[in-house]
Amino acid sequence: MAIYHLSMKIISRNSGYSAVASAAYRSGSLMLDERTGLTHDYTRKSGVAEAVILTPATAPAWCTNRAELWNAVEKAERRKNSQLAREIELAIPRELPQDAARETVLAFVRENFVSQGMIADVAFHHMDKTNPHAHIMLTTRAVGPAGFGGKVRDWNDRTHAETWRASWADHANRALANAGYQEEIDHRSYERQGLEKTPGIHLGKSACAMETRGIETERGEQNRLINRLNLEIQISRTELRNSGLTEPARRVADLLNIVLPDNATSYTLRDIIEALPKDSNAAWKLTSNAMSMMADMQATRRRWEELNTERKEAMSHAASLKKSSPFSSGFSRIPLMQWAAPEYRSEQGKIQSLSQQMEKLRQHYRKVEKQDIPASQTAFEKQWQQWGASGLAALRVQLLKREEELRRKEQEDTERSRAERRAEQLRKNDNAVMDSGVLSAVVTGYGEAPMPGNGEMTCYLLLHNRNGEYTLWGNELEKYRTRIFE
Confidence of residue 196 (pLDDT cuts 50, 70, 90): very low
Is the per-residue pLDDT at 138 higher than 80? Answer: yes
Asked whether residue 309 carries a pLDDT value surpassing 60, the answer given is yes
Give Rg (Cα) of the chain.
33
* pLDDT of 436 higher than 70: no
| pLDDT exceeds 80 at position 340 | no
The reported pLDDT for the residue numbered 294 is: 85
Per-residue b/e over 377-393, b at no fewer than 16 CB within 10 Å?
beebeebbeeebeebbe
Give the pLDDT band of residue 444 (cuts 50, 70, 90): confident
User: Which residues fall within 8 angstroms of residue 358, CB to CB, at 6 or more apart?
Assistant: 304, 307, 308, 311
Closest residue by Cα to residue 34 from 77, 64, 63: 77
Task: Give residue 26's pLDDT band: very low, low, confident or very high (50, 70, 90).
Answer: very high
Q: How confident is the model at residue 105, as a pLDDT?
A: 96
Domains of the chain: residue spans and CATH: 1-187 (3.30.930.30), 289-416 (no CATH), 430-485 (no CATH)
- pLDDT tens-digit readout, 92-103: 988 888 999 999
Question: CB of 295 within 8 A of CB of 368?
Answer: no
Q: Residue 274 burial (CB < 10 Å; 0-12/13-18/19+)?
A: exposed
CA dist., res. 114 & res. 18, Å (int): 22
Report the Cα 148 to chain-centroid distance in Å. 31
**pLDDT score of 220:** 61
CA distance 336 to 341: 9
Query: 90: how many CB neighbours lie within 10 A of its CB?
Result: 22
Spatial distance between the Cα atoms of 78 and 13, rounded to a whole number of angstroms: 10
> Mean pLDDT over residues 138-152, rounded?
90
**Stronger pLDDT, 474 or 319, i.e. the higher one:** 319
Cα 185 from chain centre: 12
pLDDT in tens, 383-429: 899 888 998 999 899 889 888 888 888 888 888 887 777 677 666 55
CB 469 within 8 A of CB 429: yes
359 Cβ contact partners less than 8 Å away, ≥ 6 residues apart: none
Residue 335 has pLDDT above 80, yes or no: no
The pLDDT value given to residue 258: 79
Residue 278 main-chain phi, psi, to 5 deg: -90, -20
Which residues lie closer than 8 Å to 304 by C-beta, 6 or more apart?
Answer: 358, 361, 362, 365
Task: Calculate mean pLDDT across residues 74-87.
Answer: 88
Which residues fall within 8 angstroms of residue 412, CB to CB, at 6 or more apart? none
Which residues, other chains included, contact 218 with Cβ-Cβ below 8 Å and sequence gap of 6+? none
Give the per-residue pLDDT at 406.
86
Q: What is the mean pLDDT of residues 160-169?
A: 88
Of 239, 230, 88, give the one whose Cα is nearest residue 171: 88
Instruction: Compute the distance between CA of residue 371 and CA of residue 384 in angstroms, rounded to an integer.
Output: 20
Q: What is the pLDDT of the chain when averaged over all its residues?
A: 79
pLDDT at residue 286 tops 90: no
| Axis-axis angle for helices 342-367, 288-323 (nearest 10) | 160
Tell me 288's DSSP state. Answer: H
Higher pLDDT, 452 or 475: 452
Q: Which residues pair with 461 in a beta bridge?
A: 446, 472
Q: Which of 476, 472, 466 is nearest to 449 (CA)?
A: 472
Nearest to 200 by CA among 229, 224, 223, 234: 223
What pLDDT, on the 0 to 100 scale, is given for residue 341? 66
**Are 350 and 16 a contacting pair, CB within 8 Å?**
yes
What is the C-alpha to C-alpha distance for residues 357 and 335, in angstroms, rounded to an integer?
27
pLDDT of 486 > 80? The answer is: no
Q: For residue 123, what pLDDT is reported?
A: 95
Fill in the DSSP letter of residue 334.
Answer: S
Evaluate whether 165 touches 156 at the Cβ level (below 8 Å).
no
- Per residue in 107-134, pLDDT (tens digit) is 999 999 999 999 999 999 988 876 789 9
Tell me, what's the pLDDT at 71?
94
Pick the closest to residue 106 from 179, 67, 183, 53 (CA basis): 53
Kindly report, residue by residue over 42-72, the tens digit of the pLDDT: 888 888 999 999 999 989 999 999 999 999 9
- The C-alpha atoms of residue 39 and residue 32 are separated, in whole angstroms, by 4
pLDDT on residue 14: 81
- Please tell me which residue, 472 or 309, carries the higher pLDDT value: 309
If pLDDT is split at 50, 70 and 90, which confidence band does 228 have?
A: low
Straight-line distance from the first to the last Cα atom of the chain, in angstroms, rounded to the nearest whole number = 66
With contact defined as beta carbons under 8 Å apart, do 290 and 283 qualify?
no
Task: Return the higher-pLDDT residue of 211 and 91.
Answer: 91
What is the spatial distance between Cα 36 and Cα 227, in angstroms, rounded to a whole number? 47
| Model confidence at 323: pLDDT above 60 | yes
User: DSSP letters of 354-389?
Assistant: HHHHHHHHHHHHHHIIIIIHHHHHHHHHHHIIIIIH
> Residues of the chain with pLDDT > 90: what percent?
24
| Residue 365: count of CB within 10 angstroms of its CB | 18
Q: How far apart are CA 197 and CA 230, in angstroms?
A: 5
Q: Is pLDDT of 195 > 50?
A: no
Of 40-54, 212-226, 251-265, 308-322, the range with the highest mean pLDDT is 40-54
